[in-house]
Structure 1
Amino acid sequence: MRIKIRRDLLQYLLQLARDFYPNEFGGFLREKDGIFEEVLIIPKGYFGKESIYFDTWLLPHDENIKGTVHSHPGPSSQPSQPDKKFFSKFGGVHVIISYPFKEWSVKAYNSEGVEIEIEIID
């Protein structure tokens, strides 16, 4: 399996990770024609150094939301146990951006926590 993401969205996500550092940030990825093109930042979220909390009732009903994204302030892009629990509830694709927030530190996972390939689209 492979996901496709626009380069400008990826650059924006990397900048968000830098801006929120040393805290995590999180959002939902909107897909159009098989390519992730937009991010919705979690409304009224708590963005801490080790976790993110948000009220799922505040999420819009949007059939184009097909994934999630969040940052890890540390160097590991591996999903934690709470990440895997979250992945199983929301399904789809899950992107983790780890420090130092460069393209090579971005990983994607399926709902079981298995890494999947990322294709960057210009």
Structure 2
Amino acid sequence: MDVVRIRRELLEYLLELARDFYPNEFAGFLREKDGVFEEILIAPNPHFGRSSAFFDTWMLPYDESIKGTVHSHPGPSPRPSRADLHFFSKFGGVHLIIAYPFTEEDVRAYLSNGEEVRIEVVE
């Protein structure tokens, strides 16, 4: 996979969520339809803190359209932490990180092995 495709409307909503939760992190799961991320799903009973976000993946419904995750970093680095890489390796799919100050340029996408991939925003 060389590129991750995401609807502009969803990307703008994710940026807004990151700003709203700041200085805490937020996290969610991304639903894909026809190769494009279109929706976010927040797991039940999440914990969004200043240095981490936690949710119980066992609480998620069975949903084959969930193909990725998203979370914010309250600092300026969009690079995955060790904890992020550990989670990526367990969950699979594509993982978006949105760093402060939460603009489109502050979003990065990674595969489960930590490899960065390009993001394509579609209308």
* TM-score under structure 2 length normalisation: 0.98
Structure 1 gap ranges (5+)? none
Which amino acid in the other structure matches residue 100 of structure 2? Y
Structure 1 outlier segments of 4+, above 4 Å = none
Cα distance, 1:55 vs structure 2: 1.4
1:101-112 matches, cutoff 5 A: 101-112=102-113
Alignment pair present for 1:84 and 2:85: yes
Q: Percent identity?
A: 66
- Which secondary structure state, in structure 1, belongs to the residue aligned with residue 84 of structure 2? helix
- Cα root mean square deviation, aligned: 0.5
Partner of 1:29: 30
Which amino acid in the other structure matches residue 115 of structure 2? V
Which amino acid in the other structure matches residue 114 of structure 2? G
Q: Deviations over 1:89-122 (max 9, x none)?
A: 0000000000000000000000001100000001
Partner of 2:58: 57
Counterpart CA distance in 1 for 2:111 and 2:58 is: 23
Counterpart CA distance in 2 for 1:74 and 1:20 is: 13
The number of equivalent residue pairs is 122
Structure 2 gap ranges (5+)? none
Partner of 1:69: 70
Cα distance, 1:42 vs structure 2: 2.4
